[in-house]
Chain A
Amino acid sequence: MADKNMTTMSDRNLQSITTSQRVKSILGKAGIYLFLGIMALIVLFPFYWMIISSLKNLSEYRKAIPTFWPHEIQWINYVNAFNTANLGRLFLNTLYVGVVSTILSVIITVITAFAFARLEFKGKELLFAMLLATMMIPGELFTITNYITVVNWLEWGNTFTALIVPFLVSVFYIYLLRQNFLQIPNELYLAAKVDGTSDIKYLWKVMVPLALPTLISITILKMMGAWNTYIWPKLVTTDKEYELITNGLRNAFTDTSGQADIPKQMAAVAIVSAPLFLVFLFLRKYIMAGVSRSGIKG
């Protein structure tokens, strides 16, 4: 009797705990969504602004008091943007530079980060400190020296090489990937050694898959670089054949008095960003796929 009572009581207790927990969890979920929603709006706003600007006519765009929705939607901007700038070639050039430099850069980043994270050699700490130190000097002063190196010494003026090679090594990414590699337990490496697995094979079969989300992030950031550089490409390539997207867009939509036709420019940016965005959507899968197969220690 007493026993029976006790069980029902504890049952009821258990039940009330789960309801209160459920309420709590629903409230928590709602809070999370609210937070994400607000942040998403904030992050989304510039993108929204870019799109509506690309659909305004120039006089509406130049109005002192900005309008939040175009009075008259100007699809013609997109047509004009497509026809004015040589978007096809600009896009292909940028894609070429972006893809080649991303692939090479990722390879260099992986092997360098591997050496710093896994291998033992004299002066490792010192070398890594030096690497970090190079990040701390503002690069504005490098332009002139690198320009002379590339154009006068290496004679790479007007080549894609000049656009790719100087930026292949990024200490930012090496550092990032090293952080990620360090999280992978050393035991895996030692075990692989015992099995006689070669370093390259281990790197490719174990480290790279485990660090895939970070590698994808690096890929995205590096690709974006090709879309955004401006000063350097203009400096080392004077031939239109090598023009990249940012330069091409800047020049194509400047009117006679030197003022940019921003709506058309925004339309062009939207056009050339679309393929890039699709690549993101595709890569996102891999970032979020995660490495739940385990292997990473905590």
Chain B
Amino acid sequence: MKKRIVAVLLLVAMIMSMMVACGGKKKSFESTDVKVPNSGYDGSKVTIKFAHTMGAKLQEVLNYHIGEFNKLYPNITIEHDTYGGWADIAGQINTEIIGDNQPNIAYCYPDHVATYNMSMTTVSMDNLISSTVEIERADGTKEIMGLTQEQIDDFIPGFYNEGKVYGDDKMYTLPMSKSTEVLYYNKTFFEENGLSVPTTWDEMEAVCKKILEIDPKCVPLGYDSEDNMFITMCEQNNYPFTTASGEGKDHFLFNNDQCKSMVKRFREWYQAGYITTESIYGSYTSALFTELSKDVLHSYMCVGSSGGAGYQIPEARAFEVGVAPIPQADPANPKVISQGPSLCILRGGKTTDQQVMASWLFVKYLTTNLAFQTEFSSTSGYMPVIKSAQDNEAYAGWLNRANGYEYLTALVVKVGLEAADGYFTSPAFNGSSVARTEVGKLLSQALAKDNADIDKLFKDAYDECVYMAS
């Protein structure tokens, strides 16, 4: 049998050497730029595929607005489909790109766009945004292809700038619907004990100490996501984390003394019993926050996603939940992470110019249309990306119902919108997702391991990033 198998291997090697020259289909664009034709979108019949991760409820909202959009552009057919979760959508689109079957519009995170960019499949939106070509809509009104200055200014700047985190000054995405991290706190407990809500990390340390004195059986603060924690701390303190420019190891800057001292500080917090994270606690820290029994571990503060507000509500109105922006290193220059879907436009060898134009019009509609933005926000609990959303009467009504009980979602969105100036997104490149995972892992171990060797943890994380990105 052995000889036979060796023979098989030789045969395979032989076939292989014949096939090596045979690669995939060459598609390729010189650049990601598009030229807007003189007539813009010319009203021709086109079909657009839109890939997203929406659940059933959000798809209802989307379907309604596709109808609205079709009143303006009846010849643009939008087919949309949910691709599963965040990991699924990136994997599937990357495969579809290789087969030149990618959707025209996709829900995306910057990390995903960085991989689509490797084949220049993403369209850079700069020419589209600046286009002044005027087109006529089916209801007789007119609009310009691009964005007006008014529209651009209406975007929350931190969200809008996410489109440019790719290191080449080009704009690849428009924000669709966003979430961030907020500080949930037990308002009832804070008021009873005369505690004030921390606005800086130094204040946070002091508050944690006080809470522990009041209730020694608790852990005052739960931080849900270790990777967000690391990245946000770097951004707030201006410590180098990653950069989108350069090649391979140039991208990764986090292996430095400033980051190490930051991590060491939180290790001290953990050892003092101030803080825990999801992986250390063993479950969502929202479960810790809503825990009502004082016999088991519980917390009075939780830094978690604004999108998950529903999970921070305790049973039976047991206490009032307060929501505040996360503490800052420098309150004069606040920084909070921006998360949630953006939209990118993809094109392949078979994509026509008119499809790109039609895709752009729909992306523009979804990101700038007040009715859609507000409805989507109140259904999803995510934030709208335009400032004018708050002027909308129905939406303002929804926001005004905000309270620390069953309308916590509205409260969270309200707080999130107030933090408008501080939003940031970390740079995106092929390998940026590795950096995110690695620093999260690093942080949880630096906190929890009995004899954590911080230098080694940093070195291992750095080596892994460099290896995977080069």
Binding site for B on A (CB under 8 A): 59, 62-65, 84, 125-126, 129-130, 133, 143-144, 147-148, 151-152, 157, 231, 234-235, 238, 240, 247, 250-259
A182 to chain B, nearest CB (A): 15
The residue that B4 contacts in the complex, of A125, A235, A238, A254, with Cβ under 8 A, is A125
Asked if B83 is an interface residue, CB under 8 A from chain A, the answer is yes
The digit string for B269-312, where 1 denotes a CB below 8 A from any CB of A, is 00000000000011110111011000010000000010110110
- Give the residue name and chain of the A residue nearest to B314 (CB): A59
* Bound: A2/B85 CA distance, A: 90
Residues of A within 8 A of B7 (CB): 126
B99 touches A256 (CB 8 A): no
* B70 proximal to A (CB < 8 A): no
Please indicate which of the listed interface residues B58, B95, B379 has the most CB atoms of chain A within 10 Å of its own CB: B95
Given A64-B281, A129-B4, decide whether A234 and B92 contact each other with a Cβ distance below 8 A.
Answer: yes
A129 touches B95 (CB 8 A): no
Q: Which residues of A contact B4 (CB under 8 A)?
A: 125-126, 129
- B381 and A257: CB pair below 8 A? yes
Whole-angstrom distance from the CB of A98 to the nearest CB of chain B? 21
Residue picked from A62, A125, A147, A258, most chain B C-beta under 10 Å: A258
Contacts of A133 in B (CB 8 A): 5, 8
Give the size of the chain B interface in residues (CB under 8 angstroms): 49
What's the least CB distance linking A67 to chain B, in Å? 12
Please determine whether A84 and B56 come into contact, CB atoms closer than 8 angstroms.
Answer: yes
Chain A to chain B: the 5 pairs with minimum beta-carbon distance, closest first:
A64-B283, A257-B307, A64-B287, A256-B380, A254-B55
Chain B 255-275 residues near chain A, CB threshold 8 A: none
- Check B380–A257 contact: CB distance below 8 A: yes
- Name the residue among A151, A152, A238, A240 with the largest chain B CB count within 10 angstroms: A238
CB distance from A245 to the nearest CB of B (A): 14
Closest to B6 in A: A129
Question: Are A238 and B57 CB-contacts (below 8 A) given A64-B287, A129-B8, A152-B99?
Answer: no
Identify which of A129, A151, A251, A255 contacts B84 (C-beta below 8 A): A251
**A152/B8 contact (C-beta < 8 A), A64-B287, A234-B83, A259-B308 known:** no
CB atoms of A256 and B57 under 8 A apart: yes
> A257–B305 contact, CB under 8 A?
yes
Nearest Cβ in chain B — how far from A116, in angstroms?
A: 14
Q: Is the interface of A mostly helix, strand, loop or mixed?
A: helix
Residues of B within 8 A of A148 (CB): 24, 98-99
- B86 interfacial by beta-carbon distance below 8 Å: yes
CA distance A190 to B98 in the complex (A): 53
Instruction: Flag if A64 contacts B282 (CB, 8 Å).
Output: yes
- The interface centre, meaning the residue of B25, B85, B179, B291 with most chain A CB atoms within 10 A of its CB, is B85
CA distance in complex: A67, B389 (Å): 42
**Pairwise interchain contact B315-A59, C-beta atoms closer than 8 A:** yes
Docked pose: A240 CA to B380 CA in angstroms: 23
User: Which chain B residues (53-85) contact chain A, with CB distance < 8 Å?
Assistant: 53, 55-58, 81-85
Question: CB-nearest residue of chain A relative to B179?
Answer: A257
For B5, list chain A residues within 8 Å (CB). Answer: 129, 133
Contact A255 B296 (CB under 8 A): no
A152 in contact with B58 given A256-B381, A257-B305, A258-B86 (CB within 8 Å): no
Q: Which residue of B lies closest to A133 (CB)?
A: B8
Question: B8 contacts A63, CB within 8 Å?
Answer: no
Interfacial chain A residues near B96, Cβ < 8 Å: 147, 235
Nearest-neighbor residue (CB-CB) of B288 within chain A = A64
The verdict on B88 contacting chain A, using a C-beta distance below 8 Å, is yes
Residues A247 and B95 in contact, CB atoms below 8 Å apart: no
* C-alpha spacing A148/B308, complex, angstroms: 38
B92 and A235: CB pair below 8 A? yes
User: A125-B4, A143-B95, A247-B84 are contacts. A64–B284 as well, Cβ < 8 Å?
Assistant: yes
Q: Shortest Cβ distance from A56 into chain B, in angstroms?
A: 14
**For B85, what are the chain A residues with a Cβ–Cβ distance below 8 Å?**
250, 254, 258
